[in-house]
Amino acid sequence: MEKRMFVCPKCGHYGFVQDQFQATGGTLTKMFDIQNKKFITISCERCGFTEIYREETTMGSNILDFLIGG
C-alpha cells in the first residue's frame, strides 16, 4: 500500500501501524477454508482507531493459498 500522510479522524494523531489480514468469502471458500479476501488495516498508534481497506487478490495467490493450506 502506498504510504500517505495519516491523520486519525478520532484523535488527530499522525502515527499509525499498518497490517493485513485475510478472510473467506462465500460458502465454498468457507467449506475448504480458502481465504480469498485480503484486507489492509491502518490503526492509530494513540487511540487504536482502525480503518480497513480491501486489497485485490489474484487467481495465482488464491491457488497458492489453497495449495499451502491458508
Distance of alpha carbon 70 from alpha carbon 31, whole angstroms: 13
What Å distances lie between residue 6 and 3, 15, 18, 68, CA to CA?
Answer: 9, 7, 11, 35
State the residue range of the domain holding 29.
16-68
Please check whether residue 20 lies inside any domain of the structure: yes
Overall domain count for the chain? 1
Query: Which tens digit of pLDDT belongs to each residue from 19-62?
Result: 988 776 665 545 555 556 788 999 999 999 999 998 876 655 54
Q: Residue 3: pLDDT band by 50, 70, 90 thresholds?
A: low
Please check whether residue 2 lies inside any domain of the structure: no
- Under DSSP, is residue 38 helix (H, G, I), strand (E, B) or coil? strand
